[in-house]
Amino acid sequence: METLKKLLGIIVVLLGVICLALYHFKVVAQENSILFVAGVFFVLGVVLHVIFNKKVTKE
């Protein structure tokens, strides 16, 4: 479970990449909504990656 937690942000970013690839190769309709969804996946994935992989150093 801990490994999945660490990789969750990267998985969400990859979902954004898949959305962009589908848009680029015209598999889905050429609408801006798929670009918005991809952008949300990117931002959410980066935020999750930072939160779950944050190292707290105690002095």
Residue 30 has pLDDT above 80, yes or no: no
Closest CA to 30 of 44, 39, 40, 20: 20
**CA-CA-CA-CA torsion sign (22, 27, 30, 36):** negative
Confidence label for 1 from pLDDT (cuts 50, 70 and 90): confident
Residue range 9-26, pLDDT digits in tens? 999 999 999 999 999 998
